[in-house]
């Protein structure tokens, strides 16, 4: 199937023409059924989600029929051309005769009708996508960044991996604390969501510590993941036996494509254990882990390791953060100052942001000291 994430009129016209041509064909391809349209996907759910050829064809034709009715309110003759030509399966000469026009005129009316019909569908589809995107993004935590530096290539790569309806089904982003794993995951999935390939996105935070302050062991981490995932899939559902929950999770995630993010894993042992556990829940669902430690002994897992920012990217980040908080001196810092900061912190984004924060605190302290001194002098 083609990439319809950024749907345009020209490509939709071709698809609509193919769908109309195959109006009565139960053996149509997914493209001929307009399966990439959210309008069609929603209609299929209305048809109780059955996937037999008759139901799939009926869902597509229902969407087209409503658009044809809307076209009739604007251009009744064009709507008649589509009904005569594709629903009644009349040849062009018969359509021309019924409308008292020439065959050439009938062909021109048909082209215009398909274009206007596609415009109607496109308007409704874009509206449906806006609503769907807002719904998907509502389940995400707020971004912790305003702009990313040095991650463009990595983001493009991960977006392609997430959107592909094929392996890898499990992706890990690894790196030191503060290196930008969560930010990269967030930026990548927000772009991937625009392909509308996922039923739902679920963002889970890895369990951190017990009440005594000790890290959760692997079994406790798995239990935390299991019940957090169940709560996201069925909010307010009464607690059940673990085996029953596992079965329900597997049924949903292997039937409908979800995107599940497990953020902020710390140890190699826990990461390896959880990656192994979710293998039973993949395809068409995908999992994205952010972790400080790469899991061992795992095949068919895509690994992306984050390195420190280059000096030029670090410089851009420093200037950007300084501008955000109005720290003019640092925002205008020259190469020598940046070199000195980079030599001390390296390219860790969190460390660079802390430098800006400390510089801001120092600036405020000096301001109050100066103001206080001036007051004493008076």
CATH number of 9-137: 1.20.140
Return all residues near 119 (Cβ < 8 A) that are at least 6 apart.
9
Q: Report percent pLDDT > 90 for the chain.
A: 58
Residue owning tokens 């390195």: 307
Q: Which residues contact 299 (CB under 8 A, 6 or more apart)?
A: none
Integer Rg of the chain from CA? 28
Element of type H or E holding 122:
helix 103-137
Spatial separation of the C-alpha atoms in residues 377 and 326, rounded to whole Å: 29
Give the separation between CA 366 and CA 369, rounded to whole angstroms: 5
In this prediction the pTM is: 0.81
Residue 303, beta-bridge partner list: 172
Asked if the model's pLDDT at residue 200 lies above 90, the reply is yes
Which of 181, 204, 173 minimizes the C-alpha distance to 281? Answer: 204
Mean pLDDT score, 335-349:
83
Alpha-carbon distances, residue 289 vs 137, 201, 238, 301, 308 (angstroms) = 18, 13, 27, 10, 19
* pLDDT for res 323: 84
pLDDT tens-digit series, residues 203-244: 998 866 544 456 678 888 898 899 899 999 988 766 677 888
Mean pLDDT of 32-38: 93
State how beta strands 170-174 and 286-291 pair: parallel
> Residue ranges of the domains in the chain?
9-137, 154-305, 311-377
Percent of the chain having pLDDT more than 70?
Answer: 88
Per-residue pLDDT, 190? 95
Using N-to-C axis directions, what is the helix angle for 103-137 and 53-74, rounded to 10°?
Answer: 110
Average pLDDT in the chain: 87
Half-sphere exposure of 174 (CA within 13 A, CB side): 17
* Collapsed DSSP state (helix, strand, coil) of residue 89: coil
Q: Looking at 240-254, 275-289, 337-351, which range is the least confident one?
A: 337-351
Looking at the predicted structure, is the pLDDT value of residue 60 above 80?
A: yes
Least confident of 46-55, 253-262, 312-321, 355-364: 355-364
Q: What fold does the segment set 154-305 form as a domain?
A: Rossmann fold (3.40.50)
Q: What is the band of 144 on the pLDDT scale with cuts at 50, 70, 90?
A: confident
109 beta partners: none
77, 109 contact by CB (below 8 A): yes
Instruction: Find the mean pLDDT for residues 103-127.
Output: 97
- Give the Cα-Cα-Cα angle 147, 148, 150 (nearest 5 degrees): 150
Strand partners, 261: 203, 288
Cis peptide, bond prior to residue 200, ω within 30 of zero: no
Where residue 4 falls among pLDDT bands split at 50, 70, 90? low
- Most confident range, picked from 120-129, 193-202, 205-214, 242-251: 120-129
Model pLDDT for residues 70-86, shown as the tens digit of each residue: 999 999 999 999 999 99
């Amino acid at each position: 199937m083609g990439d319809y994430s950024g749907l345009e009129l020209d490509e939709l016209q071709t698809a609509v023409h193919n769908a109309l041509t195959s109006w009565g064909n139960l053996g149509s391809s997914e493209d001929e059924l307009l399966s990439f349209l959210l309008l069609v996907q929603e209609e299929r759910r209305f048809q109780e989600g059955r996937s037999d050829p008759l139901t799939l064809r009926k869902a597509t034709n229902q969407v087209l029929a409503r658009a044809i009715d809307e076209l009739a309110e604007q251009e009744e003759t064009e709507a008649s051309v589509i009904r005569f030509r594709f629903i009644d399966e009349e040849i062009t000469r018969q359509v021309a005769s019924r409308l008292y026009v020439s065959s050439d005129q009938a062909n021109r009316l048909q082209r215009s009708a398909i274009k206007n019909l596609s415009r109607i569908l496109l308007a409704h589809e874009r509206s449906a996508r806006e609503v769907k995107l807002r719904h998907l993004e509502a389940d995400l935590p707020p971004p912790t960044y305003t702009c990313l530096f040095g991650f463009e290539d990595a983001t493009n790569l991960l977006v392609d991996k997430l959107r592909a309806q094929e392996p890898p089904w499990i992706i890990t982003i690894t790196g030191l604390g503060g290196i930008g794993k969560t930010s990269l995951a967030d930026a990548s999935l927000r772009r991937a969501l625009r392909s509308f390939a996922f039923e739902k996105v679920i963002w889970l935070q890895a369990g951190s510590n017990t009440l005594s302050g000790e890290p959760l062991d692997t079994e406790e981490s798995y239990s935390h993941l299991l019940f957090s995932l169940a709560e996201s899939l069925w909010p307010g559902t009464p607690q059940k036996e673990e085996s029953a929950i596992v079965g329900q999770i597997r049924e949903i995630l292997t039937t409908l494509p979800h995107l599940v993010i497990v953020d902020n894993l710390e140890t190699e042992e826990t990461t390896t254990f959880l990656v192994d556990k979710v293998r039973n829940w993949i395809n068409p669902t995908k999992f994205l882990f952010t972790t400080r430690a790469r899991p061992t002994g795992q095949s068919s897992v895509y690994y992306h390791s984050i390195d420190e920012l280059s000096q030029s990217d670090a410089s851009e980040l420093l200037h950007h953060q300084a501008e955000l908080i109005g720290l003019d001196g640092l925002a205008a810092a020259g190469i020598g100052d940046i070199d000195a900061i980079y030599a001390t912190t390296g390219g860790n984004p969190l460390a660079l942001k802390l430098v800006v924060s400390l510089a801001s605190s120092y600036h405020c302290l000096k301001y109050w000291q100066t103001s206080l001194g001036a007051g004493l002098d008076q």
